[in-house]
Amino acid sequence: DAGVIQSPRHEVTEMGQEVTLRCKPISGHDYLFWYRQTMMRGLELLIYFNNNVPIDDSGMPEDRFSAKMPNASFSTLKIQPSEPRDSAVYFCASSRTGGNQPQHFGDGTRLSIL
């Protein structure tokens, strides 16, 4: 089975540019999660969806961040405008419905904002 697929794997861009990260969850998984990992803050939840509907976005740091899930097999995380402090590894994870099913992580996008 294919795992969670994220693209791009690496992104380097200049401050002020728009950045779009993409995620394809595991087929049949109803939950999709976006996490960010930095040395200072560790792994932190940004937002998660259930059946394409955002459930909790309290972790989204600022209005510059937005996430969408237009269908069951695709989600985007957008940063506009980007800032150097947004540099991090962004992970997408998915899980089945059914009372705390394991979350499976993608390989992440390493984002560098210059």
Partner 1 sequence: GENVEQHPSTLSVQEGDSAVIKCTYSDSASNYFPWYKQELGKRPQLIIDIRSNVGEKKDQRIAVTLNKTAKHFSLHITETQPEDSAVYFCAASIGSGGGADGLTFGKGTHLIIQP
Q: Which residues bind partner 1 (CB under 8 A)?
A: 31, 33, 35, 42-45, 48, 50, 56, 59, 91, 95, 97-108
Distance between CA atoms of 1 and 14, rounded to whole angstroms? Answer: 36
Closest CB to partner 1 among residues 28, 81: 28
Q: Which is nearer to partner 1, 19 or 29 (CB)?
A: 29
Whole-number minimum distance, CB 46 to partner 1, in Å?
9
Give SS3 for 14: coil
Report the residue number, 82 or 95, with the smaller CB distance to partner 1.
Answer: 95
**What 3-state class would DSSP assign to 109?**
strand
**Cα atoms in the 13 Å half-sphere on the side-chain side of 84:** 1
Task: Find the shortest distance in angstroms from Cβ 23 to partner 1.
Answer: 12
d(CA 2, CA 108): 15
Count other Cβ atoms within 10 Å, centred on residue 18. 11
Q: Residue 5 Cβ, how far from partner 1 at the closest point, in Å?
A: 12
